[in-house]
């Protein structure tokens, strides 16, 4: 069996995603227990307990989720549709929220209010390879001293242009979200592993100063570990955090089970009538407190670190031993009922 490096995976003739690869431990681990592993990291100039952020979807991150994730040492990006934002912006009280999404058509008044509070701004579009996105990023960075996240891209070919426009971080992945139909509707997108690696090597080869967010396709703590090992500075989660107590929306009882709505940012429920739809709506099982999800992610990630003989995230990102799985090999690893 061939052991693949990041470069090998990047040069693979096929487009790869998380289910196509796994990490391979090749050395005796000196880590006695996962509790020895340190998942703290620095992202956009702030320290976090875990390199995890929530997607600015209206069924994932409202003010309540943003505040709870801050308490848990993660980052919540509040969706731009949340009406509670107005109360926070008009208040003189301190807030735990660190990041908010905006559209390309956001008013200058709103951006000024967000900047005055020191929020990181996420320009929430489906395609960062667009002159309007670059222009908006330049306008914000030229006027305010705040961090700006842009997205999304599927390849590193335009990374330098994003950096030149002032982007501090970029969301990587087009069409990989569980309720995203972009690839089906448009034929656009490549596997998340290939997207991430191509962008990672572009940043490295061109010595660019921008942080990478793996966005989409992540279903488990194991996928998070893979993304970080492949070079992501942080991962963005949607479905994994949807359905929790802190996610926006009411708990619905149906067939003696509890559910919450989950929908893509470009779904029919979010888009205006007559606009093109690139997302779906569904129901997701109610999961309880998001703290339990974050704790499970932390435990799984730390276990991965202990298997790979890595004590901290900087060491974990140096991992260069991967396997490429056949479909049967992947299915063999799934729990059997």
Q: Reply yes or no on whether 122 is catalytic.
A: no
Residue 10 lies in a domain: yes
Residue 334 lies in a domain: no
Structural domain containing residue 282: 6-326
* pLDDT, tens only, 244-262: 999 998 999 888 889 898 8
Residue 139 lies in a domain: yes
Q: In Å, how far are 98, 110, 132, 169, 219 from 115, measured between CA atoms?
A: 11, 9, 20, 17, 33
Residue 278 lies in a domain: yes
pTM across the whole model: 0.92
Looking at the structure of the chain, the number of domains it has is 1
What pLDDT is attached to residue 269? 43
Among the listed residues 240, 211, 245, 256, the one whose alpha carbon sits nearest the alpha carbon of residue 301: 240
Low-confidence ranges of the chain (pLDDT < 50): 178, 266-273
Q: What is the CATH number for 162?
A: 3.20.20.70
CA gyration radius, the chain: 19
* pLDDT, tens only, 202-217: 999 999 999 999 999 9
What pLDDT is attached to residue 109? 94
Tell me the three state secondary structure of residue 117: coil
Residue 333 lies in a domain: no
Residue of 37, 41, 122, 180 with catalytic role: 180
Residue 242 lies in a domain: yes
Among the listed residues 89, 82, 83, the one whose alpha carbon sits nearest the alpha carbon of residue 58: 82
Give the strand pairing for 46-48 and 41-43: antiparallel
Residue 316 lies in a domain: yes
What pLDDT is attached to residue 183? 63
Among the listed residues 200, 201, 177, the one whose alpha carbon sits nearest the alpha carbon of residue 189: 177
Residue 331 lies in a domain: no
* pLDDT, tens only, 158-213: 999 999 999 999 999 997 654 566 666 677 778 999 999 999 999 999 999 999 99
């Amino acid at each position: 069996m061939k052991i693949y490096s990041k470069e090998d995976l990047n040069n693979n003739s096929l487009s790869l995603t998380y289910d196509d690869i796994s990490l391979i431990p090749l050395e005796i681990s000196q880590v006695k227990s996962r509790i020895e592993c340190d998942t703290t990291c620095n992202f956009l100039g702030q320290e976090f307990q875990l390199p995890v952020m929530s997607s600015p979807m209206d069924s994932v991150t409202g003010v309540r989720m943003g505040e709870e994730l801050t308490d848990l040492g993660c980052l919540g990006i509040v969706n731009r549709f949340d009406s509670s934002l107005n109360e926070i912006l008009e208040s003189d009280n301190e807030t735990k929220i660190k990041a908010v999404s905006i559209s390309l058509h956001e008013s200058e008044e709103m951006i000024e209010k967000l900047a005055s509070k020191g929020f990181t701004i996420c320009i929430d579009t489906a395609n960062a390879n667009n002159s309007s996105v670059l222009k908006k990023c330049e306008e914000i960075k030229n006027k305010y001293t705040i961090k700006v996240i842009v997205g999304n891209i599927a390849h590193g070919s335009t990374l330098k242009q994003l950096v030149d426009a002032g982007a501090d971080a970029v969301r990587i992945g087009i069409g990989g979200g569980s309720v995203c139909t972009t690839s089906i509707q448009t034929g656009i997108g490549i596997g998340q592993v290939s997207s991430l690696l191509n962008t990672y090597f572009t940043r490295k080869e061109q010595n660019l100063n921008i942080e990478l967010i793996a966005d989409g396709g992540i279903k488990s703590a194991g996928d998070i570990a893979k993304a970080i090992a492949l070079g992501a500075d942080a991962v963005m989660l949607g479905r994994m955090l949807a359905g929790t107590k802190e996610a926006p929306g009411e708990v619905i009882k149906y067939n003696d089970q509890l559910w919450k709505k989950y929908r893509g940012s470009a779904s029919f429920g979010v888009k205006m009538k007559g606009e093109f739809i690139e997302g779906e709506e569904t129901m997701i099982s109610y999961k309880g407190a998001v703290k339990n999800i974050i704790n499970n992610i932390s435990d799984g990630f730390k276990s991965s670190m202990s298997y790979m003989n890595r004590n901290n995230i900087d060491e974990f990102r140096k991992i260069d031993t991967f396997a490429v799985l056949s479909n049967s090999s992947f299915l063999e690893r799934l729990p059997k009922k």
